Amino acid sequence: MLNKEDSRRLAQLERQLLRDDPDFCARMGGGNFSVPTRRRPPLALFLVATVIAVGAAVLIALGWWIPATIAALWSAFTLGAAAYRLRRHHSGAEIRPF
């Protein structure tokens, strides 16, 4: 098991090899080479959180307080998950050595 610094260094060496000799990496059949994936930001989660929040506002207008509270909490949780994934997306945490 490699420590964090060794894992980072190994991933750096793998990226360098992939850049320098992609044919060799293709012949190796994929192996353990880390290829950074470009994932999209979680825009759908932000949209879902917005729709749920609008639903909570409608429930408040109808006077249904308990379902409105549940919907507001659900919206806040979804928004928090989207913000967490967006932060991971921008920090590059989705790149793993193996």
pLDDT tens column, 20-29: 888 877 777 6
Question: Do 65 and 45 reside in the same domain of the chain?
Answer: yes
Mean pLDDT of 21-43: 67
71 C-beta neighbours (distance < 10 Å), count: 20
Q: Could you tell me how many residues make up the chain?
A: 98
Tell me, yes or no, whether 31 and 44 share the same domain.
no
Per-residue model confidence (pLDDT) at position 26: 75
Give the gyration radius of the chain's Cα atoms: 21
Say what the pLDDT of residue 30 is: 57
44 residue type, one letter: A
Residue 62 pLDDT more than 50?
yes
If we measure between CA atoms, which residue out of 81, 71, 76 comes closest to residue 45?
Answer: 81
Are residues 88 and 44 both part of a single domain? yes
> How many domains would you assign to the chain?
2
* DSSP sequence for 49-89: HHHHHHHHHHHHHHT-HHHHHHHHHHHHHHHHHHHHHHHHH
Q: Percentage of the chain surpassing pLDDT 90? A: 34
The predicted pLDDT at position 98 comes to: 44
